[in-house]
A = this chain, B = another copy of it.
Amino acid sequence: MTKRVYLFGEKKADGDGTMRNLLGGKGANLAEMCKLGMPVPAGFTITTECCTEYFNLGGNYPKELEAEVNKALAATEAIMGRKFGDTKDPLLVSCRSGARSSMPGMMETVLNIGLCSATIPGLIEKTKNPRFVYDAYRRLIMMYSDVVMEKAEGIEPEDGFGIRVQLDKMLSDLKIAKNYESDTDLTEDDLKKLCDAFKIRVKKVLGKEFPDDAKAQLWGGIGAVFKSWNGRRAIAYRKIEGIPDDWGTAVNVQSMVFGNMGNTSATGVAFSRNPATGDNNFYGEWLINAQGEDVVAGIRTPNPLNEATKTDHNRHLESLERAMPKVYKELDDIQQTLENHFKDMQDIEFTIQDGKLWMLQCRIGKRTGLAALNMAMDMIGEGLIDEKTAVTRVAPKQLDEILHPVLDSNSEKKATVVAKGLPAGPGGAVGKIYFTSHGAIAAAARGEQVILVREETNPEDVEGMRICDGLLTARGGMTSHAALVARGWGKCCIVGCDQLNFGTINDKRVMIINGKIYEEGTVFSLNGSKGLVYDCSIATMDATENKRFVEFMDIVDKYRKLGVLTNADNPDDAAQALKFGAEGIGLFRIEHMFYGKNSDEPLSKLRKMIHANSVEERVSALEELEPFVVKATRETMRVMDGKPVTFRLLDPPLHEFVPQDPEKQAELARELGITIKEVRERGEQLHEVNPMMGHRGVRLGITYPEISSMQFRAIFRASAELQQEGLHPHPEIMIPVTVSHHELDIHKVLCDKEHEAVEKEFGFEIPYKYGTMIEIPRAAILANKMAQSAEFFSFGTNDMTQMTYGFSRDDINAFIEDYIKNKILPYDPFQTIDEDTVGAMVKMAVEKGRQTNPNLKTGICGEHGGDPDSIRFCHQIGLNYVSCSPFRVPIARLAAAQAAIADEK
């Protein structure tokens, strides 16, 4: 029989920490903590498999579940010494979600389950605290009606008028009416009346009574947690994080303990090391007389955990270390035990009830890229982990964040800080402020840099948080939703910035800081490492001069097998890539010399060539163009001295270089001494219906061999000139858009001719390699033949994806979102290589190519070359290198090393 329910409590558990797929991360770790002898409120976990079963049964529980739950509940009661639903001394429980992988705030939780007219008197009697009991009851009603009765039933209230909002307003109206400042001012009588009013409102709004039965509440809670797996927010989050829809969530039913039973009670969240910086200090926040949700929701600014980690922001607040030294000592021991046990930084939740410490959760803590890097290096030093483990501890995309810009400190000094908050996500951000997720998304779609400003964030904001450059909130602590999510994504983030106020002026929302009014769209700058807010634009700079980063990357390179080259077409980019550890250039696009700065002169020569009316005219124009090509190729090879530089011959169709607007056409006509009509006619003649599949790449060289010959000649001359200076250029010549080995053979003849001539001219040997892009399916299929002439293959997986999917990259915007949304495609295949089709073709081509030429060098250039998943695939199929943009070189190095380490396992 399938076991669906796993008990834990009192130093024993049915499960353990290895069972996260089945029990979810939370459930597995609760079991593990029990086994480690830690004080965990007893309870049980309903498995993720049962969740899947539930959905497969169309939202019904498997019939055996009830008996299993009853059995586990009885065992829990036995451990805790109280009975669920008991009128004398009732046990209350929570229902919490717990998936394999943390999805903070994306699924539902119901606390205080078991409170009803039958149990309330007993609990009052037992606790002697009727105010506490009614407060717990009003929390239960608020949560349950929202989560179980409304959301889980799929009721979609009008925007901003769900039951939760209504009950919140009733609470707040009451406080206003009574002139209370805080929830704690509410009396037992207030709360009792409020509960009654809540239940009436629930009945009215949702058409159903709030259930007055402990068991009914329990099953409602279990079902709501299951259903929340397929809630809109959870689905959106999984889409962003790439979590499969069929994993399901476990449900943890656990005895309630209360941090809000007075001043000997408290609740808190802590990390075994600082998740923002990686510093090896026990770090956390706590609130006296509070429930856990109060810390996470960021409603009250929490206290620091200990003296060592106090900051300017919270120095005035009492630490747990001072307030409850014994409990703090116990907690500190536990966190050390957990870190040593799991050999990684732990994120823990605890509650202190009447002076007794209870552990509610432990898990691997999320951290910034910087923290990940520092912790990995520290833990090697401490002997906690080995180098290979350290390499796997930094996610490749976190490097992106480490390499992200910070505010330039000189510029920053000159600016005035308008507000201060908690430094929740390090780095710098500059952008226009928007006050809603919706507004931020729209602005980002317009191409703006965006800072999302919120009073506090909630899971509804995730998409806006995802796209913003920086995040600023008025409330919340370092462990608030905003801080957790921002850190997870490596965003620059400042939270708890309480100088921020919001209002509406002329129907427009505005932000007010110290009386100054800011509209949406105003440029702000954030220093997320220090929590400083500026109402101006500040210059940014990159953060590559980090010594630990360099040390870490040295370790990374020890385990990497895949070469990492870069795509660069000028000396500046080449130098930048070298700094990032590029081992050469995998893609130098000759046409890039006709774009951007200093391109006017070569572009005019190119256009002259395009407008030539005979081979002679073309050759003469090409001769004028040649010195520019020599210079461009030479100066980049100079920077890359001693390393390969792969030159791709002119790739785009010629019409891309012909001016379209009448003014420029007239200018060109003047320059070339021809009529505007001739310019226009040549343009029309070159026009193509589908230029992506038109007269481009090697096809140009087949029709106009002189164009290829000039490029060969220029590259060899550039190389020879450097050799004369005593340098060591390694040119590799790459023929693009090939479909047949005959194209390569024909070009090899042209190439050899120029090579021979230039060698003769200079009087010494000029080494080079000859290869091709494999980017058209036919070339991949015939790779065994292509390898007869090619010494290397560079896979153009971007174009190959276009051909394999029949997706024009320039045109897919019209439908790609529909494809992702409808789950037709799991992701954009231009971002991550589709292993089953494009990847399979690359794999086949490598195998076929090596059958012909065992020494064939193979690599990939283009955007997949900087994507960690694609890099892993490239490693697996045995490519020699990937080539990516300079800023992605470290990411590629790390992804390659991780792939090699994963391979060993």
Are A822 and B688 within 8 A (Cβ)? no
| Residue interface mask A809-845, B partner, CB < 8 A = 1 | 0111011001100111100000000101100110000
A778 contacts B799, C-beta separation under 8 Å: no
The reply to whether B824 and A778 form a contact with Cβ atoms under 8 Å apart is: no
Q: Are A808 and B776 in contact (CB under 8 A)?
A: no
Q: Which of A74-82, A465-473, A620-628, A736-744 contacts B (4 or more CB under 8 A)?
A: A736-744
Given contacts A703-B818, A818-B703, contact A689 B777 (CB under 8 A): no
Among listed A417-425, A501-509, A691-699, A897-905, interface-contacting one: A691-699
User: Residue A818 contacts which of B702, B810, B825 (CB distance < 8 angstroms)?
Assistant: B702
A775 to B739, CA, bound (A): 19
What sequence of 0s and 1s flags, for each residue 679-706 of chain A, a beta carbon within 8 Å of any chain B beta carbon?
0000000001111111100010011000
Contact with B along A788-807 (1 / 0, CB 8 A): 00000000000100111111
B695 touches A692 (CB 8 A): no
Q: Which of B737, B743, B804 contacts A803 (CB 8 A)?
A: B804
**Could you tell me if B804 and A695 are in contact, using CB atoms closer than 8 angstroms?**
no
Q: Are A811 and B690 in contact (CB under 8 A)?
A: yes
Is there contact, CB below 8 Å, between A778 and B690?
Answer: no
* A695–B818 CA distance with the chains assembled, in angstroms: 11
Chain B residue at minimal CB-CB distance from A785: B836
CB contact list, A722-749 vs B, under 8 A: 737, 739-740, 742-743, 746
Instruction: Across the interface, name the chain B residue whose C-beta is closest to A840.
Output: B781
User: Which B residues touch A578, using CB under 8 A?
Assistant: none
Inter-subunit contact A776/B805 (CB<8 Å) = yes
Closest Cβ of chain B to A504, distance in Å, is 31
Give A760-797 as 1s and 0s: 1 = Cβ < 8 Å from B's Cβ atoms: 00000000000000011110011000000000000000
Q: Output the least CB separation between A263 and chain B (Å).
A: 58
Chain B residues with Cβ under 8 A from A825's Cβ?
Answer: 740, 742
**Interchain CB contact under 8 A, A808 and B690:** yes
State the number of copies, please: 2
Contact call A691/B746, Cβ cutoff below 8 A: no
Given contacts A691-B811, A778-B837, contact A742 B823 (CB under 8 A): yes
Residues of B within 8 A of A740 (CB): 824-825
Q: How far is the CA of A542 from the CA of B743 in the complex (A)?
A: 44
Question: Can you name the residue of chain B whose Cβ is closest to the Cβ of A687?
Answer: B811
Residues of A2-55 whose CB lies within 8 A of B: none
Given A689-B811, A692-B690, A695-B814: A806 in contact with B778 (beta carbons within 8 A): yes
When distances are taken between beta carbons in the complex, the residues of chain B under 8 Å from A739 are 805-807
Quote the shortest CB–CB distance from A833 to chain B (angstroms): 13
Chain B neighbourhood of A840, CB < 8 A: 781
- Chain B nearest CB from A207 CB (Å) reads 31
Q: A806-B799, A811-B688 are in contact. Are A781 and B693 (CB under 8 A)?
A: no
| B737 contacts A822, C-beta separation under 8 Å | no
Expressed in whole angstroms, the Cα–Cα distance for A811 and B834 within the complex equals 28
In the complex, chain B residues whose CB is within 8 Å of the CB of A812 = 694
Choice from B692, B815, B822 contacting A808 with Cβ under 8 Å: B692
**Contact A815 B690, CB 8 Å, known A781-B837, A837-B778:** no
Please give me the residue from chain B that is nearest to A695 by CB atom: B814
Roughly how many angstroms separate A776 CA and B838 CA in the complex, as a whole number?
A: 12
- Cα(A41)–Cα(B781), bound, Å: 54
CA A815 to CA B707, docked complex, whole Å: 15
Q: Contacts A777-B777, A781-B840; is A693 near B694 (CB within 8 Å)?
A: no
Residue of B nearest to A700 (CB): B815
Give the shortest distance, in Å, between A836 (CB) and chain B (any CB). 7
CB pair B746 A693 closer than 8 Å:
no
CB distance from A536 to the nearest CB of B (A): 37
Q: Is the CB of A804 within 8 A of B778?
A: yes
Among residues of B, the one whose C-beta sits closest to the C-beta of A742 is B824
Contact B778 A805 (CB under 8 A): yes
Q: A699-B815, A837-B778, A837-B782 are in contact. Are A693 and B822 (CB under 8 A)?
A: no
**Other-chain contact of A811, B694, B810, B815, B823 (Cβ < 8 Å):** B694
Q: Are A691 and B689 in contact (CB under 8 A)?
A: yes
Q: A814 contacts B694, CB within 8 Å? A: yes
B805 with A702: CB separation less than 8 A: no
Among B689, B746, B823, B836, point to the contact of A822 (Cβ < 8 A): B746
Q: Name the contact of A824 in the complex, choosing from B688, B743, B807, B810 (C-beta under 8 A).
A: B743
Q: A743-B824, A824-B740, A837-B778 are in contact. Are A814 and B693 (CB under 8 A)?
A: no
Q: Which residues of B contact A803 (CB under 8 A)?
A: 777, 803-804, 806
Query: A505 to nearest B CB, angstroms?
Result: 33
- Chain B nearest CB from A500 CB (Å) reads 39
Q: Give chain B residues whose Cβ lies under 8 Å from the Cβ of A778.
A: 804-806, 834, 837
A825 CA / B785 CA spacing, docked (Å): 14
Of all chain B residues, the one with the shortest Cβ separation from A690 is: B808
How far is A741 from B777 in the complex, measured between Cα atoms in Å?
21
Please encode chain A, from 57 to 93, with 1 for each CB lying within 8 Å of some chain B CB and 0 for all others: 0000000000000000000000000000000000000
Say whether B743 contacts A815, CB under 8 Å: no
Contact A702 B822 (CB under 8 A): yes
A2 to B825, CA, bound (A): 62
Question: Given that A692-B689, A693-B690, A743-B824 are contacting pairs, would A777 and B837 also be in contact in the complex, using a CB cutoff of 8 Å?
Answer: yes
Cα A357 to Cα B809 in complex, Å, equals 74
Bound Cα distance from A222 to B378, whole angstroms: 87
- Residues of the B chain whose Cβ atoms lie less than 8 Å from the Cβ of A806: 692-693, 737, 739, 775-778, 799, 803
Q: Please, how many angstroms separate the alpha-carbon atoms of A166 and B799 in the complex? A: 58
A778 to B806, CA, bound (A): 8
Tell me the complex Cα distance, A688–B699, Å: 23
User: Which residues on B sit within 8 Å (CB–CB) of A836?
Assistant: 781-782
- Give complex CA distance A406, B736 in Å: 50
Report yes or no: B742 in contact with A822, Cβ–Cβ below 8 A: yes
Per the bound structure, the CA–CA distance linking A236 and B844 in Å amounts to 37
Knowing A777-B777, A781-B836 are in contact, say whether A693-B742 is a contact too (CB < 8 A).
no
A688 close to B815 (CB less than 8 A): no
Docked complex Cα distance between A769 and B778 (Å): 33
Chain B residue with Cβ nearest A834: B778
* CB of A280, distance to nearest CB on chain B (Å): 48
In Å, the complex CA distance between A438 and B76 comes to: 99
Expressed in whole angstroms, the Cα–Cα distance for A824 and B746 within the complex equals: 9
**Known A690-B692, A739-B805, A743-B824; 6 more pairs at CB < 8 Å:** A692-B808, A693-B805, A695-B815, A746-B822, A776-B804, A803-B804
A selection of 5 A-B contacts at a CB cut-off of 8 Å is A702-B815, A702-B822, A742-B825, A776-B806, A781-B837
Q: What are the 8 tightest A-B residue pairs by CB atom distance, in nearest-first order?
A: A690-B808, A693-B808, A689-B810, A776-B806, A694-B811, A695-B814, A742-B824, A688-B811
